[in-house]
Amino acid sequence: MPENIEFSGTFFLFIVILFSFSKKQLNHVAEGYFKRVKPTYQSLARRSQYLVT
Protein backbone atom coordinates (compact mmCIF):
# COMPACT_ATOMS: atom_id res chain seq x y z
CA MET A 1 0.00 0.00 0.00
CA PRO A 2 2.71 2.61 0.85
CA GLU A 3 4.46 1.92 -2.46
CA ASN A 4 1.19 2.45 -4.32
CA ILE A 5 0.59 5.78 -2.56
CA GLU A 6 4.16 6.91 -3.25
CA PHE A 7 3.82 5.99 -6.94
CA SER A 8 0.52 7.88 -7.19
CA GLY A 9 2.03 10.99 -5.61
CA THR A 10 5.05 10.88 -7.92
CA PHE A 11 2.86 10.35 -10.98
CA PHE A 12 0.58 13.24 -9.96
CA LEU A 13 3.57 15.51 -9.40
CA PHE A 14 4.94 14.54 -12.82
CA ILE A 15 1.59 15.38 -14.45
CA VAL A 16 1.44 18.76 -12.70
CA ILE A 17 4.99 19.65 -13.76
CA LEU A 18 4.35 18.47 -17.31
CA PHE A 19 1.15 20.52 -17.57
CA SER A 20 2.63 23.69 -16.08
CA PHE A 21 5.71 23.36 -18.30
CA SER A 22 3.92 22.73 -21.58
CA LYS A 23 0.70 24.71 -21.11
CA LYS A 24 1.62 27.31 -23.73
CA GLN A 25 3.11 24.73 -26.08
CA LEU A 26 0.13 22.46 -25.47
CA ASN A 27 -2.32 25.14 -26.63
CA HIS A 28 -0.34 25.70 -29.83
CA VAL A 29 0.06 21.99 -30.57
CA ALA A 30 -3.59 21.24 -29.76
CA GLU A 31 -4.73 24.02 -32.06
CA GLY A 32 -2.84 22.60 -35.03
CA TYR A 33 -3.86 19.06 -34.07
CA PHE A 34 -7.56 19.93 -34.00
CA LYS A 35 -7.29 21.73 -37.33
CA ARG A 36 -5.73 18.66 -38.97
CA VAL A 37 -7.38 15.69 -37.29
CA LYS A 38 -10.46 17.03 -35.49
CA PRO A 39 -10.92 14.05 -33.11
CA THR A 40 -14.23 13.48 -31.36
CA TYR A 41 -14.80 14.17 -27.66
CA GLN A 42 -15.25 10.43 -27.17
CA SER A 43 -11.73 9.65 -28.40
CA LEU A 44 -10.34 12.44 -26.21
CA ALA A 45 -12.15 11.04 -23.18
CA ARG A 46 -10.83 7.57 -23.96
CA ARG A 47 -7.28 8.90 -24.33
CA SER A 48 -7.41 10.88 -21.08
CA GLN A 49 -8.90 7.87 -19.30
CA TYR A 50 -5.98 5.77 -20.58
CA LEU A 51 -3.49 8.35 -19.27
CA VAL A 52 -5.15 8.51 -15.84
CA THR A 53 -5.31 4.77 -15.25
pLDDT at 29: 73
User: Exposure pattern of 7-42 as b/e (b: 16+ CB <10 Å)?
Assistant: eeeeeeeeeeeeeeeeeeeeeeeeeeeeeeeeeeee
Residues 21-32: tens digit of each pLDDT: 667 777 777 777
Q: Please report the pLDDT score of residue 50 as a whole number.
A: 72
Contacts of residue 19, defined as CB under 8 A and 6 or more positions apart, other chains included, come to 26
Q: DSSP 3-state assignment of 17?
A: helix
Q: Is the pTM of this model over 0.85?
A: no
Assess whether pLDDT exceeds 80 at residue 12.
yes
Residue 11 confidence class, pLDDT cut points 50, 70, 90 = confident
pLDDT at 25: 73
